[in-house]
Amino acid sequence: MPSKQTSNESLLTILLWTWPLGYQFPLNRCPNSEGLGCFYTINRSMYHMANAVVISHRDVAKSEKLLPPEPRPPNQYWIWSSMESPTNCPNLSMMDNKINLTMSYRIDSDIYTPNVRLEKVNSKEQFTIPQKSKLVAWVVSNWKARYRRSKYYEELKKFLPIDVYGKYALPLPRNQTLQTLSTYKFYLAFENSIHEDYITEKFWTNSIMAGTVPVAMGPARKNYQRFIPPDAFIHVDDFLTPQQLAEYLLSLDKDEAKYQQYFSWRSRYRPVWSSGFLSAYCKICGALKEAPAYRTIPSIAEWFK
Ligand SMILES: *[C@@H]1O[C@H](CO)[C@@H](O)[C@H](O)[C@H]1NC(C)=O
Ligand SMILES: *[C@@H]1O[C@H](CO)[C@@H](O)[C@H](O)[C@H]1NC(C)=O
Ligand SMILES: *[C@@H]1O[C@H](CO)[C@@H](O)[C@H](O)[C@H]1NC(C)=O
Ligand SMILES: *[C@@H]1O[C@H](CO)[C@@H](O)[C@H](O)[C@H]1NC(C)=O
């Protein structure tokens, strides 16, 4: 007798309304047993039988006409998703009274999808701090003089050398990013917009994964500490002025033991990549099985800001 899991009728059908931001990835290839009991599809002709439809905000934000048709099939969940910050999510009000579940980097999403998370290590794992030959790096591709981070940088660089990479500065080939950044002691993980839980690859990839100490500018220190131990990073708000931050970084540069303390958390935790959209979308299956029978969100805009 076939088990319930494999009989077709009991599979939950999850329709991707679009490939998120145009990214394609293999469907129904979830690791472990994550996708068990679900069938993912991008074929819109399955809309009438879909248990859930995943709506990637940016892909429909231009017009309500890009949303799935109403009335929707009974008991269908619409899952709103965004990997981008509210600054890059226009027209949120079009989602009023339409959405049943949320999926984003916000920790209070129904489906929480971080890029990197920390995993406890069992035995004392040895982390080797990469060889350092330089002081401070920053990668910036979206330079706007009016941004707080640009102004802060302009001040900071008066007091210590900063190597800037990106479109308008030093070239940094994609396949050499981590290697290059790892040679710096500090990385300026400056977010371009400030929102709760919005801590991007600037922080996770360019500094944590590269093995440098992040100097964070983004949400408040407390918010970072939901995700990472307090002694793993430096926050600009820890200092009254850019000059004081610069002096602190220069003092750490001279005090190897104190600098190394910023890596001591790595004997307790290890950062783990999630593989982007694939990993995020695989989580939908489990979430759907646990979802409340009825739920509707009056306003995404009220929450996602
Ligand atoms: C989409 O699904 C319909 C109905 O199940 C099927 O006839 C059609 O061939 C599918 N299209 C693609 C591109 O797989
Ligand atoms: C927001 O919606 C309006 C009206 O539907 C549309 O004209 C506009 O282009 C949308 N904005 C963006 C940035 O997509
Ligand atoms: C990085 O990519 C470039 C161009 O694709 C290639 O020439 C180079 O060898 C690669 N470098 C490394 C370290 O893989
Ligand atoms: C989802 O929300 C819509 C709009 O409020 C509602 O009509 C529908 O019943 C909800 N579906 C579920 C499964 O909660």
Q: What is the pLDDT of residue 6?
A: 45
Residues 46 and 138 in one domain: no
Which residues have C-beta within 8 Å of that of residue 218, sequence separation ≥ 6? 189, 190, 191, 194, 198, 199, 203, 224
Residue 142 belongs to domain with CATH number? 3.40.50.11660
215 part of a folded domain:
yes
Counting ligand 4 atoms within 8 A of each CB, the residue from 294, 297, 299 with the most, and so the one to mutate, is 294
Which conformational region is residue 21 in: left (phi greater than 0), alpha (psi within -120 to 50 degrees), or beta?
left
As beta bridge partners, residue 104 has 82, 112
Number of separate domains in the chain: 2
1 part of a folded domain:
no
Q: What is the pLDDT of residues 177-189, one digit of tens each?
A: 999 999 999 999 9
pLDDT band, very low/low/confident/very high, at 7 (cuts 50, 70, 90): very low
3 part of a folded domain:
no
Q: Is the CB of 43 under 6 A from ligand 1?
A: yes
Question: Has 64 been annotated as catalytic?
Answer: no
Residues 58 and 189 in one domain: no
Q: What is the pLDDT of residue 9?
A: 61
Using DSSP's 3-state secondary structure scheme, residue 36 falls into coil
**Ligand 4 interacting residues, C-beta cut-off 6 A:** 75, 77, 97-98, 100, 294-296
Residues 16 and 107 in one domain: yes
Residues 226 and 296 in one domain: no
Residues 205 and 240 in one domain: yes
Residues 138 and 240 in one domain: yes
pLDDT band, very low/low/confident/very high, at 142 (cuts 50, 70, 90): confident
- Cβ atoms of residues 175 and 168 within 8 Å: no
Residue 2 scores a pLDDT above 60: no
Residues 246 and 284 in one domain: no
170 part of a folded domain:
yes
235 part of a folded domain:
yes
What per-residue string of b and e applies to 53-67 under the rule 16 or more CB within 10 Å gives b? bbbbbbbbbeeeeeb
Residues 81 and 193 in one domain: no
CA 253 / ligand 1 centre spacing (Å): 61
d(CA 271, CA 185) in angstroms, rounded, equals 18
264 part of a folded domain:
yes
Nearest CA to ligand 2 atom 4: 63
CA 175 / ligand 3 centre spacing (Å): 6
Q: What is the pLDDT of residues 233-245, one digit of tens each?
A: 999 999 999 999 9
Residues 59 and 130 in one domain: no
- Cβ atoms of residues 43 and 85 within 8 Å: no
Residues 100 and 219 in one domain: no
Phi/psi of residue 16, nearest 5 degrees: -85, 115
Residue 30: which domain range? 8-114+275-303
As beta bridge partners, residue 272 has 117
2 part of a folded domain:
no
Ligand 2, atom nearest to 91 Cα = 1
d(CA 261, CA 247) in angstroms, rounded, equals 18
- Measured CA distances, 261 to 13, 213, 236, 252, 257 (Å): 48, 10, 18, 10, 7
Q: Is the CB of 179 under 6 A from ligand 3?
A: no
> What residue type is 196 in one-letter code?
E
Q: What is the pLDDT of residue 3?
A: 40
Query: Smallest Cα–Cα separation from 278: which of 28, 22, 18, 17?
Result: 28
Residues 131 and 74 in one domain: no
Nearest CA to ligand 1 atom 1: 43
- Measured CA distances, 107 to 199, 289, 296 (Å): 11, 19, 19
197 part of a folded domain:
yes
Catalytic residue among 9, 34, 64, 84: 84
Residues 144 and 165 in one domain: yes
Q: What is the pLDDT of residue 8?
A: 55
Residue 64 scores a pLDDT above 90: yes
Q: What is the pLDDT of residues 238-291, one digit of tens each?
A: 999 999 999 999 999 999 999 999 999 999 999 998 878 999 999 999 999 999
